[in-house]
Amino acid sequence: MTGDGTRVVRAGLPEPEAYEPALPGPVFAAHYHLPGDAVGPYTYGRDANPTWTRLEQAIGELESPDIPAHTVAFASGMAAISAVLFSQLRTGDAVVFPSDGYQLLSAVRTRLESYGIEVRTAPTARDAQLDALDGARLLWIETPSNPGLDVCDIQRLSDEAHRRGALVAVDNTLATPLGQRPLGLGADFSVASGTKALTGHGDVLLGYVSTRDAAPADAVRLWRKTVGAIPGPMESWLAHRSLATLALRVRQQSQNALALAAALADRPEVTGLRHPGLPTDPSHSLAVRQMHPGRFGSVVSFVLPDKAYAERFLAALTLVDDATSFGGVRSSAERRARWGGDAVPEGFIRFSVGVEEAEDLIADVTRALDAATQS
C-alpha cells in the first residue's frame, strides 16, 4: 500500500485520459440529459454530481484505504453531523454526546430533545462516555475534542458501544483522516467538517460522512437529498484540489504546533497548555497509540490570565489572524469565550497553527506575550 503523501495526490482521480486534465473541472449542472426511466448515476443536481463523486471517492480512500468506504459530501460539517444524527435516531432513542465537543452540538441537542430523543453527555477525557452507554442507540465521539483537546480511546469505546448495541460516530475534523482513521478503529461513521484542515485554505465550507456499510450510507445520502444540504460543485472541486497538499500541510502544521506548544510551556503567564503531541500532555500516551505519529493536529490551547490580557495578546500578534475556525495554512487564534458556548475561562486561547516558518511564529507569539505583559 502506498504512503499517505502519495495517496493524497491521486485520490479520487479518474484513469488518465489523453488530452483530459488530471482532475476534471467542476460540473455545474442542475439537471442532466435523462432519456427514458429516471435511472442512472446523474439525474438531478440535488441527488448527485460527478464533482462530488470524485471528491467522495478521494475522501473514502483516505478514511479507509484498505476496505472500500462510502462517502457522502455535504454543504458543511454541521450538515454532515445532522445527517448522521437525524437519519439514525428516532423518537424514544438515546444518544451519548461529548459534554466538551464542538459548541453547536448544544443546539443540536435541543433539537433532538424536541423530537423526543434522549441526549446524555459525558466528558471526552478518560473515556467517561462509557458510563452513559446503557441502552443508547448511538455514541457520538469527538477526539481530539474542540477546544479542550482531550482524547478518548476510539477502539475501546467502539467495542463497548457495539457490545451494548450502539452505533459509533467520530468527529474527525481536528485530526483529519491522515491523523487518525476512526473506521479502522471500529467506528461506524467518520464525520468531519472539511472546512478546517481537510481543505486548509479558509475559503470553503464543506462536510462529509464516511462509512463502510451501504445501508447507513444510503440513509445519510437520502437525508442529504431530502433536506438539500448539498455542497456546491465549485467548493467540491476546490476541496478535491486541496487534498493533494493535505499530507504536506498536516506534517508542517503538526510540527509547528508542537514547536509552539513547547515554547509556550516555558512562559509563566501561560497555564492550562494543551496539545496532544506534547509529551507532558495528559492525552499524549493515548494519542500516540491512536493517532499517526507526528500528526497530532494544528491546534494548541492555553489560558492567559484574563480577558484583557488575552485581548492584548491577540491584538499584538502580526502573523496570526484573530479569527475563528482552525486548520488553515495561515495561523489564527481566538479568545474562545467570546462565543459563550464553551466551558472555558475568559483568557482561554484556541490557537490554530499554520504552515509558516516555526521560528517566525514563535518569535511573533513571544513578542505578543511580552507586549501583553508590559502594557
Ligand X SMILES: Cc1ncc(COP(=O)(O)O)c(C=O)c1O
Q: Which residues bind ligand X (CB under 6 A)?
A: 76-78, 102, 142, 146, 171, 173-174, 193, 195, 205, 207
Least distance to ligand X from the beta carbon of 19, Å?
A: 36
Question: Taking CB positions, which residue lies at the least distance from ligand X?
Answer: 77
Report in angstroms how near the CB of residue 279 gets to ligand X at its nearest.
Answer: 24
Cell of 347: 483568557
CA distance 137 to 159: 14
Say if CB 41 and CB 179 are below 8 A apart.
no
Helix (H) or strand (E) holding 225: helix 214-227
What is the C-alpha separation between 76 and 155, in angstroms, rounded? 27
- Nearest approach, Cβ of 276 to ligand X (angstroms)? 14
Cis peptide before 144 (omega within 30 of 0): yes
CB of 127 to ligand X, least distance (A): 18
Q: How far is the CB of 250 from ligand X (least distance, A)?
A: 16
Q: Which of 156, 216, 159, 222 is nearest to 190 (CA)?
A: 216
For residues 327 and 253, what is the distance between their CA atoms, to the nearest angstrom?
Answer: 8
Q: Which is nearer to ligand X, 60 or 297 (CB)?
A: 297
Query: Is the Cβ–Cβ distance between 141 and 175 less than 8 Å?
Result: no
Task: Find the shortest distance in angstroms from Cβ 171 to ligand X.
Answer: 5
DSSP bridge pairs for 300? 351
Give 71 or 173: the residue with its C-beta nearer to ligand X.
Answer: 173
Identity of the residue, 140 or 309, whose beta carbon is nearer to ligand X in the bound complex: 140
Minimum CB distance to ligand X smaller for 146 or for 252: 146
Residue number, 23 or 108, with CB nearest to ligand X: 108
Our CB check for ligand X shows the closer of 194 and 216 to be 194
Residue 272 in grid coordinates: 492550562
Smaller CB distance to ligand X: residue 153 or 342? 342
Alpha-carbon gap, residue 120 to 105, rounded angstroms: 12
Extended beta strands in the chain, E state: 70-74, 94-98, 118-122, 138-142, 167-171, 189-193, 207-211, 271-274, 299-303, 321-322, 332-335, 348-352
Q: Which is nearer to ligand X, 26 or 77 (CB)?
A: 77
Beta-ladder partners of 168: 139
CB of 16 to ligand X, least distance (A): 33
In whole angstroms, how close is the CB of 112 to ligand X at the nearest point? 16
Give whichever of 173 and 252 is closer to ligand X, judged by the CB atom.
173
Q: How far is the CB of 340 from ligand X (least distance, A)?
A: 15
Exposed / middle / buried, residue 105 (Cβ in 10 Å: 0-12, 13-18, 19+)? buried
CA 217/CA 355 separation, integer angstroms: 34
